[in-house]
Amino acid sequence: MLERPSPNHGARRDGTIVDILVLHYTGMADARSALDRLCDPSAEVSAHYLVEEDGVVWRLVPEDRRAWHAGVSSWAGEADVNSRSIGIELVNPGHGAAYRRFALPQMIALERLCHDILARHPIPAWRILGHSDVAPGRKRDPGELFDWKWLADRGVGLWPDPREDDAKVSIDIARWMRRFGYPDGARDSIAAFQRHFRPRSVTGVADDETRARLVALVKAAALA
């Protein structure tokens, strides 16, 4: 692991434990420009780690410090996501540019990094999230080309396949979305859910498959 200390961090709120992991993409042309920005005091943004497409990992902020990655966000009623999370930036140009799949060496390095982090903090599988999950409508990263299933298959995050009876459950979509952690069942939140858990079609509309996946997820997380 390489070190590139960023000045952009502060104290975590007293008494908080780290129980959320947030994945991002950099949305910049390359790793160098992203590292420069994440270490620029005037930018006032950072993350704990950055993972390059070739698998090189940079440490920017110590895990006991509050990095400035989530911005205006919330999860399960917690508005200070930065205080209780670790943030990882993945190099990718993002939706505004040449958004592309995340390279295998990058995914393998990320998987290893996540396992290390999970060994140090009590982060449940269902609180391994994308920036878009905690800031629906405002953020789209890491986006629908990020392979959450691949990561979950390797023990990082949750990816339940819905059972047939999950599709038959009649649900109040907003209530089940809130159970999982989203603020509501509005279009932006549904789109964020789909970007993460039903990436082949991000419509913002809670169709049958979306509902079934939400039910499966809430059940798998034992939040029902």
Three-state SS across 182-216? CCCCCHHHHHHHHHHHCCCCCCCCCCHHHHHHHHH
Here the tokens at position 100 are 């592309």
Q: Which is nearer to Zn ion, 130 or 162 (CB)?
A: 130
Site for Zn ion in 136-175 (CB under 5 A): 141
131 scored as a contact of Zn ion (CB under 5 A):
yes
24 scored as a contact of Zn ion (CB under 5 A):
yes
Given a contact cutoff of 8 angstroms between Cβ atoms, the answer to whether 176 and 217 are in contact is no
Q: Is 89 annotated as catalytic? A: yes
37 scored as a contact of Zn ion (CB under 5 A):
no
Binding mask 77-116 for Zn ion (x = CB under 5 A): ----------------------------------------
Q: Which stretch binds Zn ion (CB under 5 A): 95-103, 133-141, 154-162, 175-183?
A: 133-141
Q: What is the DSSP string of 125-155?
A: GGGEEEHHHHSTTT---S-TTS-HHHHHHTT
Pairwise CA distance, residues 36 & 17, whole Å: 29
Pairwise CA distance, residues 188 & 38, whole Å: 27
Q: How far is the CB of 24 from Zn ion (least distance, A)?
A: 3
Size, binding site for Zn ion by CB under 5 A: 3
Residue of 44, 89, 111, 164 marked catalytic: 89
Q: Which is nearer to Zn ion, 143 or 162 (CB)?
A: 143
Here the tokens at position 151 are 């990561």
Q: How far is the CB of 198 from Zn ion (least distance, A)?
A: 20
Pairwise CA distance, residues 212 & 208, whole Å: 6
Interface with Zn ion by CB under 5 A: which residues? 24, 131, 141
